[in-house]
């Protein structure tokens, strides 16, 4: 997923302006169709790293402004809008008598749809009622797609959807449908793919005009309400689209049908071969690492230029590749890869993209130095970023990284978890600047004036101000891209600058020990947190999405064992609270239990996609199954019960039944059962979220390493066929699919390392031995654990991998926990202490593919 703004204007505004000659619009539209397939091939190039023009003139463009600037010069006074207070997500519980207008969205559960429930626009949710009304009236559909924490979605609502004149145009000439793209990613995917393929970019709000049979006619992103500087406003666009529909309807419908047909053909990837060609995995992994290295910012860290997104699949690949280089003796290359990742992670953690006061990470940085962020916080970021910091700690044993991972997880635990363990989706960027204010501004909750800091911190203000680069005039001056229109004048986004003095040097300057220095900073952050907690909070999207919960479950489960590697006596400083690692496992299990209870049908073995007050109407999509299965495998491997592995296997069977292309290979993004969704896509792009196919390939490889014989072969065949589908992508543009590059290499590893821990599950020694099994970074390692006294576990392994059951029987010892390391069909002698297991795992791996 990308942020709500985009880098390209998408609507065919030039021909619309030339109407009533609407035939010109149709000619231009039709002329673009032959280029559609070519544009699809280039699609991911546009989405990897937006061009630098994205933020040249302001720090937060609406989607279309960078290609077609709305103001004629860089000095034009386009400032961030202050938004009226949006309706709360609980507005459905209020009496409609409190509002001048109410529409069908008032009955929905989605926070985003509820934000529009009292617009004068006669909104419909996506569904047959709206489609039938468009057919009855023979009018086009206006489809608006966004999400509740999207800044420019809020802007377009205030400017257009709350405007009585715009509402009249929409109500008289269209059937208007509002979609939450987080609730219906399948619908969003169809029309986002359409506008990206035809016009080179996309974003939210996504604004698309459809025929009554849902074929796209034309589309765009954000539109201002009025005509300015030679560009059409939304009112003009509505009039011209209606005019085109009335006069040239048949041509419009024909063009839309042709577009969908070509999209379907272009996206129907399949492979006759059921295996990747020789050499592709090794070449793709190497080339992806090389391509990322070429984009590396050695000054500020990160891959690519501003705006900088923390795309976790990039460091994932670099660390994976460095492990492979290590195992083959190429130490210089391995060290270079790791240093890029470590410097990036340190730069991110010290930058303003990291919430130093409350923990967690914001969506992205608008500048090159990770300083001024777009302030929304997304769950899918937190889970993935935490895992990267956990990996860095596993490699370095540097508690800097483990503390950042804790910082993220503690933020989620404090602010983003519901009463039954469910994990919420996002926090908005916008909030009221002062108590009782009627308008919102981005970042208001997170920024500080120097006077505020001085008043709150008193005697320790000076040292804090020096450390976090706080200035009377405001500190958003480190880059020309940070705040070009002085929207944050006099305000400070906390940052630990690269150029700042070493903490020990500052401590010495103030005649204190480094320990005292750290204590003071923890207490200062706590005081600021307490004051900030009394501010108006950003809107919380308390929707529960299965796929994003799967990502978070993974990070909580992994933390429960990896953090046991922290040195005894490690001190933690606010906002890190020093949680016992085993508590993170409890959080992971509680989140998984919520999904199983509320979003899983035991009879059909199917998932629903999301939950808010009740399960959504939308079924589970590929990402829901793939990400949850990945989280469940981590739950099991890092110490959870055998029930989580059993459920993962069950869900994998359901995923195969619903999404697998048995003939062509790979997984579709949706089931194909909803006829209103016009495309089934096999997604491969590993972006802000990894693709469902990449995650599925790794899941299949992991499952094949756990189970035996025909079951393992079945999983492996599906993984091989899946990767063969995307061979062209792996060869031509591996940087678009970093996680899939890792999956391809994993599949070619001659023998995946297995660690088997046998003993009484509830003993402290069992926990310590399991932690030792996870102490080192090795993505080509599977950890299995079994209690020979547990009947359920023994029966499971006897049915699914009798070798594991036999190991448990042969190595059962009273009051002892035994570990074995197996590879290349050979197991080590059993060991009964952690240091011996650590020595076995520290040996140079023989698992690297050649």
Rounded Cα distance between 725 and 723, Å, is 5
pTM confidence score: 0.90
- Tell me if residue 601 falls in helix, strand or coil: strand
Rounded Cα distance between 441 and 429, Å, is 8
Q: Over 90: is that where the pLDDT of 475 sits?
A: yes
What mean pLDDT is reported for the chain? 88
Beta bridge partners of 611: 544, 615
Rounded Cα distance between 260 and 176, Å, is 21
- Please give the full DSSP string across 422-458, using - where no structure is assigned: -B--EE-SEEESSTT-SEEEETTTT-B-HHHHHHHHG
**Average pLDDT of 92-111?**
76
- pLDDT tens-digit map of 585-610: 999 999 999 999 999 999 999 999 99
Q: What is the pLDDT of residue 825?
A: 83
Report strand pairing: 364-365 vs 430-432: unpaired
Report strand pairing: 175-180 vs 123-125: parallel
Confidence of residue 92 (pLDDT cuts 50, 70, 90): very low
Rounded Cα distance between 233 and 457, Å, is 49
314: left (phi over 0), alpha (psi -120 to 50) or beta: alpha
Write down all domains in the chain, each with its CATH number in brackets. 104-267 (3.40.30.10), 455-533 (no CATH), 753-842 (3.40.30)
Rounded Cα distance between 65 and 450, Å, is 33
DSSP at 750? S
Confidence of residue 162 (pLDDT cuts 50, 70, 90): very high
Q: What is the pLDDT of residue 508?
A: 85
**Average pLDDT of 347-360?**
98
The tokens describing 636, both together, are: 């099991």
Q: Over 90: is that where the pLDDT of 217 sits?
A: yes
- pLDDT tens-digit map of 250-300: 999 999 999 999 888 877 788 878 899 999 999 999 999 999 999 999 999
Q: Over 80: is that where the pLDDT of 42 sits?
A: no
Residue of 472, 466, 451, 475 lying closest to 509 (CA atoms)? 466
Rounded Cα distance between 449 and 474, Å, is 7
DSSP at 102? -
Burial of 334 from C-beta contacts in 10 A (0-12 / 13-18 / 19+) = buried
Contacts of 832 (CB under 8 A, 6+ apart): 813, 816, 817, 818, 819
Q: What is the pLDDT of residue 370?
A: 97
Only one residue has tokens 């909030």, namely: 431
In the chain, % of residues over pLDDT 70: 87
**Average pLDDT of 403-416?**
98
Q: Please report, for residues 304, 311, 467, 602, the alpha-carbon distance to residue 301 in angstroms, rounded to integers and kept in the order given.
A: 9, 13, 20, 46
Burial of 189 from C-beta contacts in 10 A (0-12 / 13-18 / 19+) = buried
Contacts of 570 (CB under 8 A, 6+ apart): 399, 402
Contacts of 94 (CB under 8 A, 6+ apart): none
Q: Over 70: is that where the pLDDT of 529 sits?
A: yes
- pLDDT tens-digit map of 763-805: 999 999 999 999 999 999 999 999 999 999 999 999 999 999 9
Q: Over 70: is that where the pLDDT of 91 sits?
A: no
Rounded Cα distance between 205 and 2, Å, is 11
**Average pLDDT of 467-493?**
95
Q: What is the pLDDT of residue 243?
A: 95
- Please give the helix or strand (H or E) that residue 388 lies within, else none: helix 379-396
**How many helices, marked H, and strands, marked E, lie in the chain?**
30, 22
Q: Over 50: is that where the pLDDT of 17 sits?
A: no
Residue of 401, 399, 402, 354 lying closest to 381 (CA atoms)? 354
- Tell me if residue 209 falls in helix, strand or coil: strand
Q: What is the pLDDT of residue 93?
A: 37
- Tell me if residue 257 falls in helix, strand or coil: helix
CB 785 within 8 A of CB 767: no
The dihedral sign for the CA sequence 601, 605, 611, 617: negative
Strands (E), 26-174: 83-84, 123-125, 141-146
């Amino acid at each position: 997923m990308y942020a709500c703004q985009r880098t390209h204007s998408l609507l065919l505004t030039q021909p619309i302006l030339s109407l009533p000659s609407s035939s010109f619009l149709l000619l231009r539209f039709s002329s673009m169709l032959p280029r559609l397939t070519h544009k699809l091939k280039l699609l991911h190039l546009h989405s990897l790293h937006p061009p630098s023009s994205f933020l040249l003139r302001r720090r937060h463009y609406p989607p279309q402004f960078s290609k077609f600037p709305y103001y004629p010069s860089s000095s034009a006074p386009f400032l961030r809008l202050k938004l009226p207070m949006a309706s709360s997500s609980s507005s459905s519980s209020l009496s409609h008598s409190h509002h001048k207008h109410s529409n069908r969205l008032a009955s929905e559960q989605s926070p985003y749809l509820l934000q529009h429930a009292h617009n004068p626009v006669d909104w419909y949710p996506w569904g047959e009622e709206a489609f039938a009304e468009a057919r009855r009236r023979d009018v086009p559909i206006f489809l608006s797609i966004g999400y509740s924490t999207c800044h420019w979605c809020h802007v377009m609502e205030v400017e257009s959807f709350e405007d009585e004149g715009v509402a009249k145009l929409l109500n008289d000439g269209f059937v208007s449908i509002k979609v939450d793209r987080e609730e219906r990613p399948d619908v969003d995917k169809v029309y986002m793919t359409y506008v990206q393929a035809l016009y080179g970019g996309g974003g939210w709000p996504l604004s698309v005009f459809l025929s009554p049979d849902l074929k796209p006619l034309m589309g765009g992103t954000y539109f201002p309400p009025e005509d300015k500087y030679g560009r059409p406003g939304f009112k003009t666009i509505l009039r011209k689209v209606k005019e085109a529909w009335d006069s040239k309807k048949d041509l419009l419908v024909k063009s839309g049908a042709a577009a969908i047909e070509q999209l379907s053909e272009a996206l129907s990837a399949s492979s006759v071969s059921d295996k990747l060609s020789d050499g592709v995995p090794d070449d793709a992994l190497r080339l992806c690492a090389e391509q990322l290295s070429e984009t590396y910012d050695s000054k500020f860290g990160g891959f690519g230029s501003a705006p900088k997104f923390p795309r976790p699949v990039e460091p994932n690949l670099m660390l994976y590749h460095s492990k492979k280089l290590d195992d083959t003796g190429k130490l210089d290359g391995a060290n270079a890869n790791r240093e890029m990742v470590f410097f990036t992670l340190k730069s991110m953690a010290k930058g303003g993209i990291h919430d130093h006061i409350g923990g967690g990470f914001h969506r992205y940085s608008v500048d090159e130095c990770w300083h001024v962020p777009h302030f929304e916080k997304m769950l899918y970021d937190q889970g993935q970023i935490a895992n990267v910091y956990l990996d860095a700690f596993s490699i370095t044993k540097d508690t800097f990284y483990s503390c950042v991972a804790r910082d993220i997880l503690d933020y989620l635990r404090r602010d983003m978890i519901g009463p039954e363990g469910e994990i919420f989706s996002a926090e908005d960027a916008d909030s009221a600047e002062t108590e009782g204010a009627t308008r919102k501004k981005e970042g208001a909750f997170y920024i500080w004036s120097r006077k505020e800091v001085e008043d709150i911190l008193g005697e320790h203000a000076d040292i804090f101000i020096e450390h976090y680069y706080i200035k009377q005039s405001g500190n958003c001056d480190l880059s020309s891209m940070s705040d070009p229109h002085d929207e944050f004048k006099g305000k400070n986004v906390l940052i630990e600058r690269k150029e700042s003095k070493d903490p020990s040097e500052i401590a010495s300057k103030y005649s204190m020990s480094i320990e005292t220095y750290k204590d003071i900073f923890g207490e200062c952050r706590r005081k600021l947190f307490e004051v900030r907690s009394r501010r108006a909070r950003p809107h919380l999207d308390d929707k529960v999405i299965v796929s994003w919960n799967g990502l978070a479950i993974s990070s909580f489960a992994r933390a429960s064992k990896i953090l046991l590697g922290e040195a005894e006596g490690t001190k933690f400083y606010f906002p890190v609270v020093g949680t016992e690692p085993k508590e993170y496992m409890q959080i992971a299990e509680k989140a998984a239990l919520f999904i199983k209870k509320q979003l899983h049908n035991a009879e059909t073995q199917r998932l629903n996609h999301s939950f808010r007050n009740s399960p959504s109407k939308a079924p589970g999509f590929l990402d829901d199954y793939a990400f949850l299965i990945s989280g469940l495998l981590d739950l099991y491997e890092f110490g959870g019960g055998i029930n989580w592995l059993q459920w993962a296997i069950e869900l994998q069977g359901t995923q195969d039944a619903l999404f697998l292309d048995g003939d062509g290979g790979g997984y579709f993004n949706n089931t194909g059962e909803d006829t209103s969704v016009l495309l089934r896509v096999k997604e491969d792009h590993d972006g802000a979220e990894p693709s469902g196919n990449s995650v599925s390939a790794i899941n299949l490889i992991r499952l094949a390493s756990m189970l035996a014989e025909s079951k393992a072969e079945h999983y492996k065949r599906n993984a091989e066929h899946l990767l063969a589908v995307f061979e062209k992508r792996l060869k031509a543009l591996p940087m678009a699919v970093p996680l899939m590059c890792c999956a391809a290499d994993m599949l070619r590893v001659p023998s995946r390392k297995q660690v088997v821990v046998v003993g009484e599950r509830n003993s402290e020694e069992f926990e310590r031995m399991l932690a030792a099994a996870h102490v080192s970074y090795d993505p080509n390692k599977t950890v299995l654990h079994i209690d020979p006294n547990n009947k359920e576990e023994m029966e499971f392994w006897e049915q699914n991998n009798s070798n594991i059951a036999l190991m448990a029987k042969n190595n059962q010892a009273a009051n002892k926990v035994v570990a074995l390391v197996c590879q290349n069909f050979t197991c080590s002698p059993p060991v009964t202490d952690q240091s011996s297991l650590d020595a076995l795992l520290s040996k140079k791996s023989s698992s690297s593919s050649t």
